[in-house]
Amino acid sequence: MAYANIIGKWRTDPEGFWMDAAGAIDWIKKPSTALNATNAPLYEWYTDGLVNTCWNAVDRHVLAGRGDQAAIIHDSPVTSSKQVITFAQLQDRVARLAGALQGRGVAKGDRVIIYMPMVPEALVAMLACARIGAIHSVVFGGFAAAELAVRIDDCTPKAIIAASCGIEPNRVVHYKPLLDGAIDLATHKPDFCVILQREQEIATLVPGRDVDWQEFTENATPADCLAVEGNHPAYILYTSGTTGAPKGVVRPTGGHLVALNWSMRAIYNVGPGDVFWAASDVGWVVGHSYICYGPLIAGCTTIVYEGKPVGTPDAGAFWRVISEHKVKSFFTAPTALRAIKRDDSEGKLLADYDLSNLQTLYLAGERADPDTILWAQRHMKVPVIDHWWQTETGWAIAANPVGIEALPVKIGSPSVPMPGYDVQVLDEGGHPVPAGTLGAIAIKLPLPPGTLPTLWNAEERFRKSYLNHFPGFYETGDAGYIDEDGYLYIMARTDDVINVAGHRLSTGAMEEVLAGHKDVAECAVIGVADELKGQSPLGFLCLNKGTNRPHDEIIRECVTLMREKIGPVADFKRAVVIDRLPKTRSGKILRGTMVNIADGKSWKMPATIDDPTILDEITAALKSIGYAKDKV
Ligand code: COA
Ligand code: AMP
């Protein structure tokens, strides 16, 4: 009943519901209203409130007498080190970095790019920006210099904060040369860069531009928390869209605080003093919401884990961290569990660890397949909660609100909509479809607090990408259905975004890279099923007339090009050369049909296909590289 009551309260009085939720946040000036609809269909929340994110995530806990509680535990098997930072220490570090940034002219509204691996300083940098009203944009370390350059030019940062290196199990990631390369490529140049020198690699600093983090912060005057408006952008996080240009999702300050704080208790069932761990990366939205801000706002201890689910050193790594740090709620991507299951299918390594503090496992980032859920239930012996959300929303659209009421779990479903999200399944004409019928998943406007109000410098793109297709709704880009009990099922994307190991990638962006190869006349990239990573990108290359170089060589060059242009995270390792691409009569590439053929699923000949015989060629090409195995 508790969930029904909460939803009932929100539906009858959304304004009252979100004003109540705002009561859990320390405001410098309380907002007079929750929703601001003056510019509908663009909405804002808590517009006229004054607030500071860093105060709510750090200072208020120190003031409440919990300065000695661990705020961050850095557990880094790749550097064989562990470190605990209390709230009081965090306050000191953040205030000094914030002061040093202010001293170099970084002011409210200025952008700061953060390009760092999983070190506590990444969180310190994010919070320091929040402290002085600067807008951060964290860029994932697996992206190449060119991707970083695109982000530099889009958000024109005054400063960039980076580390000298990151550590992947098989190599050191040289952040500094990547950063230097990106700044060379970009048209916009930052005023200065702050470099965290890690002992694993000391980077060469550019005189006059780069400063050493240690020297920069050592004697800096601590900065106070600056009051910003509820609608002030807290951060910009770039995410993949249909084209090569990433979308700069804007996160508004007030709604972000309220929604994350609400979610920590209602969904993740944690509060002050509890240990919360999201095994993701600060470069993704999960890292923003649930490694940095959410747990700290709620007064939890958060774990910054610099390692992998397997190989650092083995498939028991997650169990070690959970037992050693007494994790109560744990959040990871299904891929990570599939990797563990592949190495330790019987879950034998679990026997070495005491997981008695763990109450719930949360999964998100990609579809949670039933095998993985059942395996986790069997071996971890805790409820496994799938929940569904996106970079754009910043917190769960659908979940099982365990902290309010643990609803029955239906395997294959991320459960039910959270308050604020009026989720509907629509047909192509925008009409709601009956329960059990597949359609486009859309959310009736307004979206709840914390979700994106717009895209950075791209309001028209925001409207086009999300609002125009179904007027009055936000288009999620996911397709699925709602069952008779109101449970959601997320089945596929409706666009060309693919999900590789929980990482959201654009096939359009990959096609732009392939098209840049001198021998490629035309190309397509699709996401094919992958047992470990969910999906994996596969390229189709049509070569220029007269190209007679070995195909293997061209494919190898394309793989290298993708690594250079997008980065290792694209995980682009396979491609095949074909004569022609299958298209509709109007010239649209039939990617969906190609995916079905590659995955060995049944498929229908598209009525609009230009030349049906091409599909035989595609099937043969796919078979030659081990796809299209079953009957087609
Ligand atoms: N910095 C630099 N490079 C990175 C990186 C980072 N932060 N993260 C990944 N990469 C690189 C990897 O080293 C790999 O490079 P390689 O081609 O040279 O081997 C490449 O990007 C692909 O990485 P990934 O897709 O992660 O594959 P993997 O084979 O290295 O690891 C898993 C497989 C399953 C262990 C890993 O994908 C994983 O931990 N997945 C969980 C993902 C997750 O938590 N997502 C969170 C989203 S909510
Ligand atoms: P990102 O913005 O990187 O978080 O990716 C968001 C996308 O990942 C969603 O639009 C979905 O396509 C997919 N996704 C995230 N969580 C889930 C889930 N629990 N089940 C199915 N798909 C999911």
Predicted pLDDT of residue 632: 42
Measured in Å, residue 220 CA sits from the centre of ligand 2 at 41
Ligand 2 neighbour 448 (Cβ under 6 A) = no
Show the DSSP H helices in 143-230 as ranges.
Answer: 145-155, 175-185, 213-218
Predicted pLDDT of residue 242: 79
Average pLDDT (264-286) is 98
Task: Give per-residue pLDDT as tens, 417-443.
Answer: 999 999 999 999 999 999 999 999 999
Give me the CATH number covering residue 509: 3.30.300.30
- The reply to whether 493 falls in a domain is no
Give which of 127, 118, 71 is closest to 275, Cα–Cα: 71
Show the DSSP H helices in 104-247 as ranges.
Answer: 120-131, 145-155, 175-185, 213-218
- The reply to whether 334 falls in a domain is no
Structure tokens at 346: 């019987």
Predicted pLDDT of residue 245: 87
Measured in Å, residue 502 CA sits from the centre of ligand 1 at 9
Measured in Å, residue 533 CA sits from the centre of ligand 1 at 10
Contact 516, 475 (CB under 8 A): no
Measured in Å, residue 500 CA sits from the centre of ligand 2 at 11
Considering only CA atoms, which residue is closest to atom 38 of ligand 1? Answer: 336
The identity of residue 335, as a single letter, is T
Measured in Å, residue 569 CA sits from the centre of ligand 1 at 6
The bound ligand whose nearest atom lies closest to the alpha carbon of 504 is 2
The identity of residue 196, as a single letter, is L
- The reply to whether 280 falls in a domain is no
Measured in Å, residue 482 CA sits from the centre of ligand 2 at 16
Atom nearest to 492 CA in ligand 2: 12
What is the domain extent for residue 217? 15-67+87-251
Measured in Å, residue 312 CA sits from the centre of ligand 2 at 26
Distance of CA 137 to the CA centre of its chain: 13
Considering only CA atoms, which residue is closest to atom 3 of ligand 1? Answer: 142
The single-letter DSSP state of residue 69 is S
Ligand 1 pocket, residues with Cβ under 6 angstroms: 141-142, 166, 168, 173, 279-281, 284, 286, 308-310, 333, 335-336, 339, 365, 501-502, 532, 568-569, 571
- The reply to whether 181 falls in a domain is yes
Structure tokens at 355: 């997981």
Write down which residue in 197, 221, 251 finishes a domain: 251
Considering only CA atoms, which residue is closest to atom 5 of ligand 2? Answer: 390
Instruction: Provide CB contacts within 8 A for 573, sequence distance 6+.
Output: 536, 559
Measured in Å, residue 173 CA sits from the centre of ligand 1 at 12
Structure tokens at 379: 């071996």
Distance CA 553, CA 560 (A): 11
Tally of structural domains, the chain: 2
Whether 1 shows a pLDDT value over 80: the answer reads: no
The identity of residue 334, as a single letter, is P
Write down which residue in 251, 272, 303 finishes a domain: 251
Structure tokens at 525: 């990239």
CB-based burial of residue 170 (10 Å sphere; 0-12 exposed, 13-18 middle, 19+ buried)? Answer: exposed
Give which of 298, 302, 300 is closest to 261, Cα–Cα: 298
Give which of 281, 381, 279, 269 is closest to 329, Cα–Cα: 269
Measured in Å, residue 364 CA sits from the centre of ligand 2 at 7
Task: Give per-residue pLDDT as tens, 477-494.
Answer: 999 999 999 999 999 999
Considering only CA atoms, which residue is closest to atom 19 of ligand 2? Answer: 388
Mean pLDDT of the chain: 97
For a ligand 2 pocket test, name from 499, 505, 506 the mutation site with the most ligand atoms within 8 angstroms of its C-beta.
499
Cis-peptide into 272, omega within 30 deg? no
What is the largest distance, in Å, between two alpha-carbon atoms of the chain? 74
Measured in Å, residue 283 CA sits from the centre of ligand 1 at 12
- The reply to whether 490 falls in a domain is no
Ligand 2 neighbour 239 (Cβ under 6 A) = yes
Whether 630 shows a pLDDT value over 80: the answer reads: no
Predicted pLDDT of residue 377: 97
Give me the CATH number covering residue 128: 3.40.50.12780
Predicted pLDDT of residue 243: 78
Distance CA 266, CA 406 (A): 10
- The reply to whether 166 falls in a domain is yes
Write down which residue in 251, 276, 300 finishes a domain: 251
Task: Give per-residue pLDDT as tens, 541-578.
Answer: 999 999 999 999 999 999 999 999 999 999 999 999 99
For a ligand 2 pocket test, name from 282, 331, 389 the mutation site with the most ligand atoms within 8 angstroms of its C-beta.
389
Structure tokens at 421: 């999200």
- The reply to whether 324 falls in a domain is no
The bound ligand whose nearest atom lies closest to the alpha carbon of 466 is 2
Q: For the chain, give the percent of residues with pLDDT over 70.
A: 100
The bound ligand whose nearest atom lies closest to the alpha carbon of 363 is 2
412 in the Ramachandran plot: left (φ > 0), alpha (ψ -120 to 50) or beta?
A: left
577 in the Ramachandran plot: left (φ > 0), alpha (ψ -120 to 50) or beta?
A: beta
Whether 631 shows a pLDDT value over 70: the answer reads: no
Considering only CA atoms, which residue is closest to atom 14 of ligand 2? Answer: 366
436 in the Ramachandran plot: left (φ > 0), alpha (ψ -120 to 50) or beta?
A: left
Task: Give per-residue pLDDT as tens, 94-152.
Answer: 999 999 999 999 999 999 999 999 999 999 999 999 999 999 999 999 999 999 999 99
- The reply to whether 295 falls in a domain is no
Average pLDDT (248-273) is 98
Which position has the token pair 């990609």?
366
Task: Give per-residue pLDDT as tens, 189-247.
Answer: 999 999 999 999 999 999 999 999 999 999 999 999 999 999 999 999 999 987 778 99
